[in-house]
Amino acid sequence: MTTTSPAGAPPAPRPAGPPPGRTARLIAALGPHATVLRGAGGLLTLIGALLPWATFVLNKGPYPDKATLQYFVAPFGVTGFRWQLLLFGIAALVLALAPVPARGRLLRGLAWGIIGIAVVNGLFITVEGGGLGAITVTDGSVACGAVVTLLAGVLVELGARAGGIEPRPVWTWRFGPWVERAVLVVVYVLMLFVVAATLTSGGTGGAANRYSGAVFLSFLAALGGAFAALHASGLMTWVATVAERHRVFSVLVLLAMALALPLTAAGNEYWMTVAANIGVYAATAIGLNIVVGLAGLLDLGYVAFLGIGAFVAANLSGAAAAKFDVHLPFALVMVISAVIAGMFGAVVGSPTLRVRGDYLAIVTLAFGEIFVRTAQNNIFGLTGGSNAIPGIPQVELFGTRFSDRIAVAGIQLPAGVLYYLLIVFLVAIVMLVFSHLKESRLGRAWIAIREDEDAARAMGIRTGPIKIMAFLCGATLAGFAGAFFAHKTGTVSYESFRFTESVTLIAAVILGGMGTVPGAVLGASLLFVLPEKLREFADYRLLLFGLALILIMRFRPQGLVPDRHRRAELARDPADEPPPGGSTAGSRAEVAA
Amino acid sequence: MSAPSAAPEAGRTGGGPILAAAGVTMQFGGLRALGDVSFDLMEGQIIGLIGPNGAGKTTLFNCLTGLYAPTSGSVSLRGERLPQDPALVTEKGIARTFQNIRLFPSMTAEENVLVGRHVRMKQSPLSSLLHGPKFKRSEAAARVRSGELLNFVGLGRFSDELARNLPYGDQRRLEIARALATDPSVLLLDEPTAGMNAQETEATRQLIFAIRDLGISVVVIEHDTKFIFTLCDRVLVLVQGELLVEGGPDEVRGDPRVVEAYLGAPPEEVEARLYSSAAVDESPGGAHRKEDGP
Segment B136-166, tens digit of pLDDT: 999 999 999 999 999 999 999 998 888 989 9
Domain check: are B80 and B190 in the same one? yes
In a domain, B41, yes or no: yes
Domain check: are A224 and A344 in the same one? no
Q: Is the pLDDT of residue A364 over 50?
A: yes
Q: Which amino acid is at B45?
A: Q
Q: What is the CATH number of the domain that holds A158?
A: 1.20.1440
In a domain, A357, yes or no: yes
Domain check: are A465 and A358 in the same one? yes
Query: Which residues have C-beta within 8 Å of that of residue B124, sequence separation ≥ 6?
Result: none
Q: What's the pLDDT score for residue A263?
A: 84
In a domain, B203, yes or no: yes
Whether chain A has a CB inside 8 Å of the CB on B255: the answer is: no
Of the residues B181, B214, B247, the one at which a domain ends? B181
Domain check: are B138 and B41 in the same one? no
DSSP A393: P
Alpha-carbon gap, residue A113 to B241, rounded angstroms:
66
Tell me which of B274 and A85 has the higher pLDDT.
Answer: A85
Phi-psi region of A382 (alpha: psi -120 to 50; beta: other; left: phi over 0): alpha
CB-closest option in A444, A455, A460 to B91: A460
ipTM: 0.83
Q: How many CB pairs under 8 A join A and B?
A: 127
Element (H, E) at A316: helix A303-317
Tell me which of A145 and A135 has the higher pLDDT.
Answer: A145
3-state secondary structure A514-579: CCCHHHHHHHHHHHHHHHHHCHHHHHHHHHHHHHHHHHHHHHCCCCCCCCHHHHHHHHHCCCCCCC
Alpha-carbon gap, residue A156 to A99, rounded angstroms:
16
Interfacial A residues in 507-566 facing B (CB < 8 Å): 563, 565
List the pLDDT tens digit at each of the 294 positions of chain B.
444 444 444 444 456 789 999 999 999 888 888 988 999 999 989 999 998 888 888 999 999 998 888 999 999 999 889 888 889 999 999 999 998 999 999 899 999 999 999 988 888 878 888 888 889 999 999 999 999 999 999 999 998 888 989 998 899 999 999 999 999 999 999 999 988 888 989 999 999 999 999 999 999 998 888 899 999 999 999 988 888 888 888 888 888 888 777 766 565 665 666 666 555 444 444 444 444 433
The count of domains in chain A is 2
* Highest mean pLDDT (candidates A94-98, A111-115, A558-562): A111-115
Query: Which residues have C-beta within 8 Å of that of residue A264, sequence separation ≥ 6?
Result: A192, A193, A196
The answer to whether the beta carbons of residues B243 and B236 sit under 8 Å apart is yes
Domain check: are B209 and B276 in the same one? yes
Phi, psi of B234 (to 5 degrees): -140, 155
Query: Structural domain of residue B69, as residue ranges?
Result: 16-93+184-294
Whether chain A has a CB inside 8 Å of the CB on B130: the answer is: yes
Whether chain A has a CB inside 8 Å of the CB on B193: the answer is: no
- Count other C-beta atoms under 10 Å from residue B6's C-beta: 12
Whether chain B has a CB inside 8 Å of the CB on A592: the answer is: yes
Query: Structural domain of residue A123, as residue ranges?
Result: 22-169+201-233
CB-closest option in B129, B165, B178 to A459: B178
Q: Is the pLDDT of residue A16 over 50?
A: no
Alpha-carbon gap, residue A457 to B90, rounded angstroms:
8
Q: Is the pLDDT of residue A571 over 80?
A: no
Q: What's the pLDDT score for residue B93?
A: 92
In chain A, count H helices and then E strands. Answer: 24, 6
- Of A391, A374, A392, A370, the closest CA to residue A383 belongs to A374
Average pLDDT over residues A487-492: 87
**Average predicted confidence (pLDDT) for chain A:** 79
Q: What's the pLDDT score for residue B16?
A: 78
Residue of B nearest to A441 (CA): B118
Please tell me the distance in Å from A459's CA to the nearest CA on chain B: 5
Alpha-carbon gap, residue A532 to A544, rounded angstroms:
14
Domain check: are B262 and B276 in the same one? yes
Distance, C-alpha A581 to centroid of its chain? 24
Half-sphere exposure of A409 (CA within 13 A, CB side): 1
Using DSSP, state whether B187 is helix, strand or coil: strand
The count of domains in chain B is 2
In a domain, B188, yes or no: yes
Q: What is the CATH number of the domain that holds B55?
A: 3.40.50.300
Asked whether the beta carbons of residue B121 and residue A441 sit closer than 8 angstroms, the reply is yes
- Of B213, B250, B217, the closest CA to residue B235 belongs to B250
Asked whether the beta carbons of residue B125 and residue A590 sit closer than 8 angstroms, the reply is no
DSSP B83: P
CB-closest option in A440, A456, A563 to B123: A440
Average pLDDT over residues A6-21: 49
The answer to whether the beta carbons of residues A539 and A490 sit under 8 Å apart is no
Q: Is the pLDDT of residue A237 over 70?
A: yes
Whether chain A has a CB inside 8 Å of the CB on B28: the answer is: no
Going by pLDDT thresholds of 50, 70 and 90, the confidence category of residue A575 is very low
Whether chain B has a CB inside 8 Å of the CB on A591: the answer is: yes
CB-closest option in B88, B100, B111 to A588: B100
Q: DSSP assignment of B21-63, as one string?
A: EEEEEEEETTEEEEEEEEEEE-TT-EEEEE-STTSSHHHHHHH
CB-closest option in B115, B129, B138 to A459: B115
Domain check: are B44 and B174 in the same one? no
Alpha-carbon gap, residue B255 to B251, rounded angstroms:
6
The answer to whether the beta carbons of residues A122 and A135 sit under 8 Å apart is yes
Q: What's the pLDDT score for residue B270?
A: 55
Whether chain B has a CB inside 8 Å of the CB on A444: the answer is: yes
Whether chain A has a CB inside 8 Å of the CB on B160: the answer is: yes
- Of A270, A227, A245, the closest CA to residue A88 belongs to A227
Domain check: are A422 and A549 in the same one? yes
Alpha-carbon gap, residue A304 to A300, rounded angstroms:
10
